[in-house]
Every structure is written in C-alpha cells, then in structure tokens.
Structure 1
Amino acid sequence: MSDTMQPPFSVLFVDDDEMSRNHFARAIHKEYCVHVAQGVDEAMAMLSEYGAEIAVLVTDFRMPGRHGDDLLRQVAQEYPQIVRILVTAYADKDMLLQTVNTGDVFRILEKPLRVETVREVLQLATARYTERETRQQRLLAMDETLAFLAHELNTPLATISLFARTVESDVAEQYDPERQLAIGQAATSMLNNAQYCLTLISSFWAAVHKNGGQQSASGTGTQEVRATRLIATLLDTYPFAGSQRDWVQVDVQGDFIVHAMPNCVALVISSLLSNALRALDGTPAPSLRLEVVDTPEPEIRIRDNGPGIAPEIKARLLLDPVTTYAGSGGHGMGMIFCNRIMKSFGGCLRIESTLGAGTTVTMGFPCLRS
C-alpha cells in the first residue's frame, strides 16, 4: 500500500477522444486526482459516485450525442459547488456566447490545450471551489448558531415564564414570611435568566456587526482572536449570580488563535459554562476551571467538581435531547448544538464524567499550524 499523500482536489475531464483524455490525465495527475469520461452520460454516472470529492469539471464542447453545454447546465443544477470549465475549438466561439452569458462556465480553454495554461486555470478554479466551500461552511455554522441561540434563549425564558406564573398566582394569596422569601428567590431567578438572554443577544449582535465589515476578499477576518481573549471577554460579560464568579479559575497552559467564527465559539463556551454552573449549585466548595492548551492539539476544557453525569446519560448527551433540568425549562438540545457547531469547522466535543467526582467537557479545535 502506498503512503503517498492524496491530492487535495479531484478533477473530472470529459472528452470523446481517448488521446486527449490520456494527455490531460498525464499532465496534471501529480497535482490533482483525475477522473475521465468519454461523454455526458458517463460523466453524470461518474459524478453520481464521486461528486462529493470533485472540485472542477473540464469538458469538451463537441461530442457525440449530447454536447458539453448540456453537461454544464445539468452539473450547474445538480452539483452547483463544482467549478465548470469548457474546452472548445476556435470555430465554436460564437456558438458558445450564450453558455458563457448564462454563467454555466467559469473559463473557456482553447484547443489544442497547453499544459501551463491548463494548470493556471485549474489553480484559479480550485481557489474558487475553496471559496465556495468556505462560504457554505460559514452559512451552515451560522444556521447552527442561530438555532443554538434560539435554544439558549428559550431555556431561560421558559424559566422566567414558569416563575412568573408562580408569582402571579401568589399575589392574591395570603402568605407567611417563608413564602415571601420563596417569591423573592423566584424574582431573583427571573432577573438572572432575563439578564442572561440580554447578554447573549447583545454579545452576539456586537460580534456579528463588528466582524461583518472586517472580512477580507479571501473571507478571513482581519483581526486574530485568541482563545484566552475570547474567554476573558466572556467572563467579563457573563451574568454570574451571587458568588458564582468566585468559583471560576482560568488556567492557561498554551494559547492559540481561534480560526473559526469567534462568536460561534463564544456561544458554545457560554452554554458549557452555564451547564457547569448549574451542576455546581449546592456543591460544597464549588470549583470550575477553564483550561486553555495548545499542545498536542489546541483545546479549551471546562472542568467542574460537581456531581458528575450518569454513564447512561453521558452516552447520549451529544446524540439525543436528554436533560436533567426539564423542571427549569431545559430541553436537552444544548449539547447537541454545541457539538454540531464544533463539527461545522472541523472541531469536536468530548465529555468525561465520573459520578461524585465532576465533569470535564473538552472543545477540540483543528490544528492549523504551518
């Protein structure tokens, strides 16, 4: 078995001439994984099997049966992420204006093909493909984040509603000082949950509004955000209740740049922090440690000394909507959304827990060191 690294991009070349197919494959096989087809139908069959990995389609125009413009239009509809290039003879140019104007083709290559020209155009095409994929991943991450944000707001708002109904029903009743204390505690909980909602909305909007105008042409932000800075900002704005802030310590063993969307990552940390603080409620000498490490892989760990999670619950946390806080508005979707957001940019979420000894949730980030 060869241990040669697989080329990062695949190219599908379509031409009814066998010599042209062989010449194209030999010319670029070191830079790209090459698939070849001799006609439109074979090309579509190839795409049905390898469409997920093919970045660029290069097709001849004049072929027996269906021409290349038919293939371009079908691929544009069924595989819009693939960058499409048309190969043609000079005499075909006037006939191809409509194909170009409809946006079905990225570039036109003239016959006979020159190797250097092909390589230059393929570099541009793969750059376009990468840009499309990056944009799509960001949209998916944003969709997950918005759903996650809705969940995070729904849980405390449900708690507010629950306590509000309790207060409302007690207003018209006669109650003793003990009952007055319970109502006061309910009002405090309502206030804390409402403040959490407002903080989330404010922080998320500020991050999106600020970063929206700072995207370069390549799609990367102009300002690097480090994990320690992200955590410090979150701790400065998080609506801690009572002495909760005193429970939290930050242990930096190695910092790293958060290459993913920082506002998404901040929401994940906020949710995990909220879960840990809730688990520590009533724990003697509560302790919550946020650890930042950069070796062997960049990670953020949220470690608490709470009651821990039962094995049967822990096994389902990242897969099913399970919760131990249904009475206070919990729906069990928080960990699922956290996991999806981390996975959307190549990261991961891991949970380690022992009953009676606490829980550690690890946010793993892709290693992008050069």
Structure 2
Amino acid sequence: MTSAESGATHGALGAHAILMVDDEPQACKWFARLYGDEFVVLTAGGVAEALALLAQRSHEIAVLLTDYAMPQRDGVALLSEARQLYPHISRLLVSAYADKDVAMSAVNRGHVEKILEKPLDEALTRQALREALMSAQERARERALLERRAATLRETLGFLAHEVTTPLATVRGYLSAMRDRHRDNPESDSGFAQIEQQHPGDVLQMIEAAQRRAEYAQSLVSTFVQTARDAYHPDSAPSLRASELVQAVHDEYPFDHDEARWLSSDLGADFVLPGRRDLLYLVLCTLVKNATLALRASPPERPGVYILLGQEAPAPGLAVQPVIHVRDNGPGIAPEVLSRLTFEPTTTRADSGGSGMGLLFCRRVMTSLGGAVVVRSEVGNGATVSLYFPSAQ
C-alpha cells in the first residue's frame, strides 16, 4: 500500500498520519518502508512540497518529521511555519551531530518538540513517533472539546436571549400600565403616590407579577453565567437530584395569577442527574412554560401540569432509564406537528411569538448528556414530554 493510499484509507480518522520531509528521495523511501508497518506515512522532498501537502491534507497529518539540512529553506524554517499554521501537529527534527547547536536553538524557541539524531535508531524513532502521535491526538481532542463548549455557550446564549425577552417585556408592560394610571394630586402633601385601579387589587397583582418575572429573568441570566463558568470547569459539578430540580421550578417559575396551582409533582422515584442545575433547570422551565401556554390557550375545566419522576425503558427492548415526565391535560398536539417537534423548529403558537426553538434546545441539551427527549400526545388528551437520562449503571 502506498502512502497516498494509506492516507485515503484512514482519512476518516482525523489527524493520524506522519509526514516525513527529506530532500533525499532514497531516505524518504527507506523511512516509508521501515515505519509504514505501524504508521500512515506521507513523504515530501522539500519545504515547498511539504507546505503544499500540508495545505491540502493538514486535517490528516498529526506528526511532521523533517531533516534539518535541506537546500533553499531548512527544516527549522518549515517547523516554524507549521507551528503558526497548524498548531495541532507535533513537530520533530532530524539533525546530524554538526547541526546540534542549531537544533537545540530550535527546541528552545519552541519550533520543535523533539530532535532525533542521524542515523535514526529504529526503536527510539518508533517511540518518538508514538509519543508525538499521542500528543497531537490529545491536542485535537482538547480543541474539539473547546469548540463544542463554545458552540454550547453560543446556543445557550441565543436561547437565553429569547427566553429573557418575554418576562422583561411583561415587566415593561406592567410598569407602563402603572405609569399611565399614576395621578398627581397637587393638594396632597402626604408624600403618597396615587395609582388608579381599574379593579380592586389589580395594581398589587401587577407589581407581584412584575417581580416574579424579574426574578425569573435574573435566574435565567444566572443560569447562563453558571453555564459559562462550568464550561471550563466541568469536573467541579456537584451532584444534583431530580427532586431538587423540580422543587426549584415550583419555587422560581413566574406563573401568572393562580397558574402555580396547576403544577403538581410526584418525586418518589428520585435519582441523581448528570450535569449541573443550570441547563437542566432551563430545560424543565421550558417544558413547564410550553405546557402552561397550551393550557392557557385552550383551558380544560381543571388545568393541570404534572411532573413525575420514574424509572422506565424509553421503548420496548431498551434498558430501564431514569426519566422526568412533564404532562399536561391540554388540547394535545396534532400528528403532523408531533412528528416534527424534536427535530426542527416547530410551533403551534407562531401568532403569539412562538419560535419552536424551545423543544429543539431541550433535545440538544439532553443529547449532550447522553439522554433523549420523547414527546407523546393525542389530540384532546394532553401531551407528555419525557426526559430520559443515561442510567448510572
């Protein structure tokens, strides 16, 4: 198998190949033949050829091994440019004894991670290549992890901005209403403001509702701040029980009027949740909000949102998993909408500002934890959204 064929065979593996650079064709052939039994080896006959190959296939190359003494541009120049353009690649330099001072200078400047002396010792070279390959792959994993964390933060921030807009708009509406009802009384010197009520107690209700929404918006912002912190300290997460998460929604969600009475829960089958409170709190609040809005749009005689903790299989033949069910006794979901809910932005409330991103966000959070979201509904018989978590076993 040629080096090009080896690269094509393993291309799906990400960075995995060794690029050996030497201006002596025989040295390249010897290296590929000797080490090709263990590594995917690519070769180049000089700096220009190596840079051209890197530009095309840097996603495959994990280790760059180059001779120092080459015409026009030497190996240190190649490694220095590769360090700037392709920082994920491990860099090794081959030098003769006479070039040792130059090679050590390259090590000290960070252009090269290790030097190998000519003639190459096979055992030492193999070990150096293994270590360099492992180092490159570890850097690739860390880079991918950082990219995933950054993507999660961007997505959470976008969803958070959408979620915060609604309670803040409500607060502004209540404040505007109270401003419009404010009445000056120039004859009064009591120091009390006068706000006209349309119904007994409605001003107090507006103040309390505005306060609940402001507190909820603050909790969402705190959630994002905690998410941002945890993104770079994921191992510091304390254990969180599902019952604690449900109780937080009971205590903190800004229900309107007497809608808090709609929510009930059964926490008997408690379990420890993976991850931290922040994103899971946002997921559960989103599901409660969706259920409440569905009930508000078409209220039954006795509206109800029910949160149930359990242990069950998501489908026949699958293992038993911890689950949180969020059920409502609202109008249910039409089959054509239900089939799209967890895979694309879909909403039944577009006329009132619904975007359909809520359930999609919940699904992405659960997928990142190794869990799943299942939605079940029949028209006229409410809906149940189930959050399945990976089993502790």
Match of 1:152 among 121, 146, 163: 163
Deviations along 1:110-132, one digit per CA (max 9) or x if unpaired, are: 54352334334433443343333
Q: Which amino acid aligns with 1:57?
A: V
Contact 2:226 2:278 (8 Å CA) reproduced: no
- Counterpart CA distance in 1 for 2:331 and 2:89 is 53
Equivalent residue number for residue 3 of structure 1: none
What is the TM-score of this pair, normalised by structure 1?
0.70
Equivalent residue number for residue 164 of structure 1: 175
Equivalent residue number for residue 279 of structure 1: 294
Equivalent residue number for residue 260 of structure 2: 244
Contact 1:13 1:36 (8 Å CA) reproduced: yes
Match of 1:319 among 334, 340, 344: 344
Match of 2:235 among 206, 221, 231: 221
Matched, 1:308 2:332: yes
What is the TM-score of this pair, normalised by structure 2?
0.67
- Counterpart CA distance in 1 for 2:210 and 2:240 is 33
Q: Which amino acid aligns with 1:148?
A: F
| Distance of aligned partners of 1:50 and 1:109 in 2 relative to their CA distance in 1, 3 Å threshold | same
- Counterpart CA distance in 2 for 1:18 and 1:44 is 19
- Counterpart CA distance in 1 for 2:176 and 2:378 is 37
- Once the two structures are superposed, the pairs formed by residues 287-366 of structure 1 within 5 Å of their partners are 287-291=305-309, 293=311, 296=319, 300-305=323-328, 306-311=330-335, 313-314=337-338, 315=340, 318-320=343-345, 322=347, 324=349, 327=352, 330-342=354-366, 349-363=373-387
| Distance of aligned partners of 1:37 and 1:150 in 2 relative to their CA distance in 1, 3 Å threshold | farther
- Once the two structures are superposed, the pairs formed by residues 166-185 of structure 1 within 5 Å of their partners are 166-171=177-182
Contact 1:280 1:304 (8 Å CA) reproduced: no
C-alpha deviation, 1:324, in angstroms: 1.2
Match of 1:15 among 9, 16, 20: 20
- Counterpart CA distance in 2 for 1:303 and 1:352 is 10
Match of 2:121 among 108, 112, 122: 112
- Counterpart CA distance in 2 for 1:348 and 1:335 is 12
Match of 2:245 among 219, 222, 231: 231
| Distance of aligned partners of 1:269 and 1:95 in 2 relative to their CA distance in 1, 3 Å threshold | farther
Equivalent residue number for residue 64 of structure 2: 58
Equivalent residue number for residue 102 of structure 2: 95
- Once the two structures are superposed, the pairs formed by residues 32-71 of structure 1 within 5 Å of their partners are 34=40, 36-38=42-44, 54=60, 56-62=62-68, 69=76
- Secondary structure at the counterpart of residue 349 of structure 2: coil
Deviations along 1:104-150, one digit per CA (max 9) or x if unpaired, are: 55544554352334334433443343333323322332232233322
Count of matched residue pairs: 349
C-alpha deviation, 1:299, in angstroms: 6.0
- Counterpart CA distance in 2 for 1:292 and 1:45 is 58
C-alpha deviation, 1:79, in angstroms: 4.5
- Secondary structure at the counterpart of residue 253 of structure 2: coil
Q: Which runs of 5+ in 2 are unaligned?
A: 1-10, 22-27, 184-194, 314-318
- Secondary structure at the counterpart of residue 221 of structure 1: helix
- Counterpart CA distance in 2 for 1:294 and 1:19 is 60
RMSD: 4.5
C-alpha deviation, 1:88, in angstroms: 1.6
- Counterpart CA distance in 2 for 1:88 and 1:368 is 50
Contact 2:321 2:388 (8 Å CA) reproduced: yes
Over alpha carbons, which structure has the higher Rg? Answer: 2
Q: Which one scores higher on RCO, CA 8 angstroms, separation ≥ 6?
A: 1
Q: Which runs of 5+ in 1 are unaligned?
A: 1-5, 29-33
- Counterpart CA distance in 1 for 2:56 and 2:375 is 36
- Counterpart CA distance in 2 for 1:88 and 1:56 is 17
- Secondary structure at the counterpart of residue 15 of structure 1: strand
C-alpha deviation, 1:154, in angstroms: 1.6
- Secondary structure at the counterpart of residue 304 of structure 1: strand
